[in-house]
Chain A
Amino acid sequence: QVQLQESGPGLVKPSETLSLTCTVSGGSVSGYYWSWIRQSPGKGLDWIGYIHYTGSTNYNPSLNSRVTISIDTSKNQFSLKVRSVTAADTAVYYCGRGERLGIDPWGQGTLVTVSS
């Protein structure tokens, strides 16, 4: 069965770039859409954006100018970068397979704290 695992720094300084990678095991990234979602206490669940295995992307307009999602089919991974972070970007970040039908499965999530 497909499993996903987020990895990356748990602490990022304000104004710097948050970088996370999602490694997919038990299946291929090819043929699917892959998404990043974050969950913060103050704002609930927010869809950051998604990428097709061909590389096409769609980003939430609220984050559009600061976000890049990329995919590496040879490594079976996809990645998230959020630039110029502030405390408001502190959240648990989830990667997952899927798009408008929802996410299934989800990664376990990784807490990223923005603080100096």
Chain B
Amino acid sequence: DVVMTQSPLSLPVTLGQPASISCRSSQSLVYSNGNTYLNWFHQRPGQSPRRLIYVISTRDSGVPDRFSGSGSGTDFTLRISRVEAEDVGVYYCMQGTHWPWTFGQGTKVEIK
């Protein structure tokens, strides 16, 4: 299985400051059709995960533009330009290129 490695695992942030989460895959995530199926999810405490971004950088409807995704091949990044209180929780990257699709172990974002 493709291993997804996130860092850091814990990220204390100050409100209004930027935050960045790294996700690395054990294999290239470029699919045979040229797409790279790297997606990001956010899970608030006690809630189901919610998809934020798919195919590296496409934001889901309703996702604030302070969230952005970037990267290629095996290295990817989720950035929050200015952290707000509602952004706390755990962020997961997920690859949909190689079956079985796999998730990273999660990065817990909390407010300092």
Contact A102 B41 (CB under 8 A): yes
Contact A100 B101 (CB under 8 A): yes
With both chains docked as a complex, state the minimum distance between the C-beta of B35 and any C-beta of chain A, in angstroms.
Answer: 9
Contact of A106 among B37, B49, B99 (CB under 8 A): B49
Task: Give the contacts of A72-116 with B (CB-CB under 8 A).
Answer: 94, 98-109
CA distance A108 to B41 in the complex (A): 15
The binding surface of chain A is classed by DSSP as: strand
Within 8 Å CB of B102, what residues of A?
Answer: 47
With both chains docked as a complex, state the minimum distance between the C-beta of B37 and any C-beta of chain A, in angstroms.
Answer: 5
Contact of A100 among B50, B92, B97 (CB under 8 A): B97
Task: Give the contacts of B36-92 with A (CB-CB under 8 A).
Answer: 37, 39, 41, 48-51, 54-55, 60, 92
- Residues of B in contact with A, size category: 20 to 34
With both chains docked as a complex, state the minimum distance between the C-beta of A69 and any C-beta of chain B, in angstroms.
Answer: 14
Contact A106 B103 (CB under 8 A): no
Contact of A107 among B48, B54, B55, B104 (CB under 8 A): B48
With both chains docked as a complex, state the minimum distance between the C-beta of B41 and any C-beta of chain A, in angstroms.
Answer: 7
Within 8 Å CB of B34, what residues of A?
Answer: none
For residue A58, CB closer than 8 A to chain B, the reply is yes
Closest B residue by C-beta to A62: B100
Within 8 Å CB of A99, what residues of B?
Answer: 96, 101
Contact A102 B94 (CB under 8 A): yes
With both chains docked as a complex, state the minimum distance between the C-beta of A63 and any C-beta of chain B, in angstroms.
Answer: 9
Q: Which residues of A contact B (CB under 8 A)?
A: 44-47, 58, 60-62, 94, 98-109
14 cross-chain CB contacts under 8 A: A45-B92, A45-B103, A47-B101, A58-B99, A60-B100, A94-B48, A101-B55, A102-B41, A102-B51, A102-B54, A102-B94, A104-B50, A106-B48, A108-B48
